[in-house]
């Protein structure tokens, strides 16, 4: 975590990939069938589990997001897998030319998305982009890739550093608002009126 303490949110490129099976259903015989049988016992689970493996799945789309002027901008790349990968690498280079140092952030990037992109790039005969080439590196050596949970942790750390009075306001203002709103709604729903000299509970 020390390597990602001072990250500028506007220099983070958020990445998400969506994967699908290479085939609509598993062939009853052949190389893919044999390879799948060695990996998974239940052939009926092919459609559900194939996208998790780069050998049996493929990238359906890649979404890139970045923050600018407090707004999140998202670009989704779809089409042929090879074109998706090439366009993704070009856009990453474009962002890096603009921002300089670039941090990639997303859900399970180190454990799933980045290795998946690497393998599919090799399969499609595309040179792996240097920011995605993590082969042979330890997780703690990859300081330019940030998991979304680590980013949330950093944001929580920043909140903790806020002045005590501001922290109290952040905690208690929503509670105070809820109490006032509940009281207001209660008065609106159950209002006591005096009619013909008698107190009556009127429901609105």
pTM for this predicted structure: 0.66
The domain limits of the chain are 2-159, 162-203
Instruction: Please answer whether residues 51 and 19 qualify as being in contact, where contact means their C-beta atoms are separated by less than 8 angstroms.
Output: yes
What are the DSSP calls for the chain, one per residue? -GGGTT--GGGEEEEEEEEEESSSS--SSSHHHHHHHHH-S-GGGHHHHGGGSTTTEEEEEEEEEEEETTEEEEEEEESSHHHHHHHHHHHHHHHHHHHSS-EEEETTIIIIIHHHHHHHHHHTT-PPPTTT--TT--GGG-TTEEEHHHHHHHHHHHHHTS-HHHHHHHHHHHHHHHHHHHHHHHHHHEEEEEETTEEEEEE-
Instruction: Please answer whether residues 123 and 53 qualify as being in contact, where contact means their C-beta atoms are separated by less than 8 angstroms.
Output: no
Residue 18 pLDDT class (50, 70, 90 cuts): very high
Residue percentage of the chain with pLDDT more than 90: 22
Residue 125 has a pLDDT of 94
Distance, in Å, from the CA atom of 184 to the CA atom of 108, rounded to the nearest integer, reads 45
Residue 98 pLDDT class (50, 70, 90 cuts): confident
Distance, in Å, from the CA atom of 142 to the CA atom of 110, rounded to the nearest integer, reads 8
Residue 122 pLDDT class (50, 70, 90 cuts): very high
Distance, in Å, from the CA atom of 148 to the CA atom of 13, rounded to the nearest integer, reads 11
Residue 83 pLDDT class (50, 70, 90 cuts): very high
- Total residues belonging to the chain: 204
CATH topology for 2-159?
Nucleotidyltransferase; domain 5 (3.30.420)
The residues with which 63 forms a beta bridge, in sequence order, are 16, 76
**pLDDT tens digits for range 146-180:** 887 777 767 666 655 655 656 666 666 667 767 66
Distance, in Å, from the CA atom of 118 to the CA atom of 137, rounded to the nearest integer, reads 13
């Amino acid at each position: 975590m020390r390597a990602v303490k001072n990250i500028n949110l506007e220099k983070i490129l958020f990445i998400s990939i969506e994967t699908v099976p290479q085939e609509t259903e598993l062939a009853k015989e052949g190389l893919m069938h044999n390879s799948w049988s060695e990996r998974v016992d239940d052939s009926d689970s092919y459609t559900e589990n194939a996208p998790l493996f780069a050998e049996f799945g493929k990238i359906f789309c890649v979404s890139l997001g970045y923050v600018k002027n407090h707004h999140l901008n998202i670009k989704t790349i779809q089409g042929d897998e090879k074109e998706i990968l090439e366009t993704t690498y070009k856009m990453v280079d474009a962002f890096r030319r603009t921002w300089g140092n670039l941090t990639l952030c997303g859900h399970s990037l180190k454990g799933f998305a980045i290795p998946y992109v690497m393998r599919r790039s090799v399969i499609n005969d595309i040179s792996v982009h240097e920011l995605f080439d993590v082969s042979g590196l330890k997780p703690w050596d990859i300081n330019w890739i940030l998991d979304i949970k680590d980013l949330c942790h950093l944001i929580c750390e920043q909140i903790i550093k806020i002045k005590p009075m501001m922290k109290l306001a952040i905690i208690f203002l929503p509670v105070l608002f809820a109490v006032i709103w509940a009281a207001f709604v209660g008065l609106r729903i159950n209002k006591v009126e005096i009619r013909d000299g008698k107190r009556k509970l009127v429901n609105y």
